[in-house]
Chains A and B, each alone.
Chain A
């Protein structure tokens, strides 16, 4: 079996290759954001001695009278209407729960669900009250930082390259083969265990590597960026996508295409 080894080498900062400055107002904890008391304070700030002080390291965002600091990397904070992908680790043991749910969802199952409500201490309550949510069958899970998942109208995408993807707001991305026909009656509780073809598997592997490259280079994940990255990676072999220099090249091309599309 052929093996490739690399020696550790100091890498230059990623942003140097982009060569542009940021226009945002960056703060670190302890910095005064403003002494104007007319502002309402949002996440990432606290009031101390007549001034608004930052409590996380990130960029300041001002929306009318609300000032908040968006941290670079945060744990996922649930909001009503978010789509999440996750694994059932523990469930409530009540009699009615046993009767109703045990047949469908068990501990250890991977599911997609929507956030129904958020409690005051940050805990979220999920529901799968729609046919598009429910148990996930065969596919690949990628974990990325929640801050990289762009908020969109829909998080379920059927990509034209031949696979489908669910971008969970909690940073869990599920890639699976596009189902042949929509099973409306079964909903999401019957697992599809038919064998997946090699062509589909290759598409899914390539998508997985592309998503990992985008996350490593800290690019926002949404259907267009994933698709452009996939197309940029086609000249390379699937296993080569994760090599640092090829990763940089592919993501750079994706960035350029996205800029052209916007501009």
Chain B
């Protein structure tokens, strides 16, 4: 993509956003009645998350942890989610790695000590991938875990960030990711400011790390504002229906 300007002189990105601007997010909770918890999110990407649990350990009982719950995450992207049709929806290296990252993220946030010897399953399916899929998955999974009523320390809000021409960009799209610059993915617990997961694979000078990290953290806090609104609306509607 030679000649494609990721950041124009006036400060506009390829899709017209400013450096720190997020894409429009739309989210819904409780989309499946069969699952314990479910959520749907559109953030450039479209992701569905479904949560089952806490329930008894499936498979070998030996895997059960005596003092806390096991968190099992599976990531799957539909064959039509990317520009070129994918051959294997799940089971490939990227899906396994993503599943592991999601697991690390949620083990940090879910209060697993309250459910010893049980298992919590989180399944995430990406229907449309457009940059920052990890972030969309984490946001969807947070809503789904909340919908299931599983106790969590806080929301987990995630966002990706990059660095172009001395400016940190928040919420990268596929075009910006493909350009090959440094990309950082951050999952944050907003109220306490603690980081659940921080991942970057590229080369970035340490002087610039602070700036990129701050851009990602601010974007994650903006995501939190939005998800918070969605959850409160959902809780309020259900509360009215149940009656006082």
A24 contacts chain B at the CB level, 8 A cutoff? yes
The answer to whether B127 has its CB under 8 Å from any CB of chain A is no
Task: Please tell me if the beta carbons of B237 and A14 are within 8 angstroms of each other in the complex.
Answer: yes
* Least distance between A245 CB and chain B CB atoms (Å): 17
- Give the docked Cα–Cα distance between A21 and B244 (Å): 10
The answer, yes or no, to whether A26 is at the interface (CB within 8 Å) is yes
Tell whether B238 is near chain A: CB-to-CB under 8 Å. Answer: yes
Docked complex: B138-159 residues within 8 A CB-CB of A: 146-155
Residues on B with beta carbons closer than 8 Å to the beta carbon of A26 = 232, 235-236, 239
Complex CA distance for A57 and B55, rounded to whole angstroms: 20
Which chain B positions have C-beta within 8 A of A22? 236, 239-240, 244
Chain B 214-236 interface mask (CB, 8 Å, partner A; 1/0): 00000000000000100110111
User: 1/0 per position for A24-37, CB-CB distance to B under 8 A?
Assistant: 10101111000000
Q: Which of these binds chain A: B71-79, B114-122, B129-137?
A: B114-122
Q: Does A13 contact B (CB under 8 A)?
A: yes
Q: Among B36, B155, B236, B241, point to the contact of A30 (Cβ < 8 A).
A: B155
Q: List the B side residues contacting A59 at CB < 8 Å.
A: 235, 239
Is the CB–CB distance between A56 and B242 below 8 Å? Answer: no
Q: Are A57 and B151 in contact (CB under 8 A)?
A: no
Chain A 110-153, CB-CB to B under 8 Å as 1, else 0, gives: 00000000000110000000000000000000000000000000
CB-CB under 8 A from A121, the residues of chain B are: 115-118
Interface: A72 (CB within 8 A): yes
A75-B241 in contact given A26-B232, A26-B236, A30-B190 (Cβ < 8 Å): no
Once bound together, how far apart are the Cα atoms of A44 and B235, in whole Å?
15
Establish whether residues A73 and B244, one from each chain, have CB atoms under 8 Å apart when the complex forms.
no
Known A29-B152, A55-B152, A122-B118: A73·B147 in contact at CB below 8 Å: yes
How many residues does chain B have at the interface if contact means C-beta atoms less than 8 Å apart?
39
Q: Choose the segment among A159-167, A193-201, A213-221 that binds chain B (4+ C-beta atoms closer than 8 Å).
A: A213-221
CB of B215 to closest CB in A, whole Å: 22
B228 to chain A, nearest CB (A): 6
The answer to whether A75 touches B111, judged by C-beta atoms less than 8 angstroms apart, is no
Whether B146 lies near A46 (C-beta < 8 A) is no
User: Which residue of A is nearest B55, CB measured?
Assistant: A75
CB of A18 within 8 Å of the partner chain:
yes
Q: Does B37 contact A (CB under 8 A)?
A: yes
Closest to B36 in A: A75
Q: How far apart are A149's CB and chain B's nearest CB, in angstroms?
A: 12
Give complex CA distance A72, B153 in Å.
17
Contact among A18, A46, A72, A220 for B111, CB-based, below 8 A = A46
When distances are taken between beta carbons in the complex, the residues of chain A under 8 Å from B116 are 121-122
Cβ-neighbour of B149 out of A15, A46, A75 (below 8 A):
A75
Question: Nearest CB to that of B229 among chain A residues?
Answer: A28
- 6 closest Cβ pairs, A-B complex: A71-B149, A30-B154, A55-B151, A30-B191, A74-B149, A15-B240
Ordered by A's residue number, 14 sampled pairs between the chains whose C-beta atoms are within 8 Å are A22-B239, A26-B235, A29-B151, A30-B191, A31-B191, A56-B151, A57-B146, A57-B231, A59-B235, A73-B147, A121-B115, A122-B118, A218-B238, A219-B241
Seen from chain A, the residues whose Cβ lies within 8 Å of a Cβ on chain B are 13-15, 18, 20-24, 26, 28-31, 44, 46, 48, 53, 55-59, 71-75, 121-122, 217-220
Interface residues, chain B, with chain A CB atoms under 8 Å away: 30, 36-37, 53-55, 111, 115-118, 146-155, 189-192, 228, 231-232, 234-244
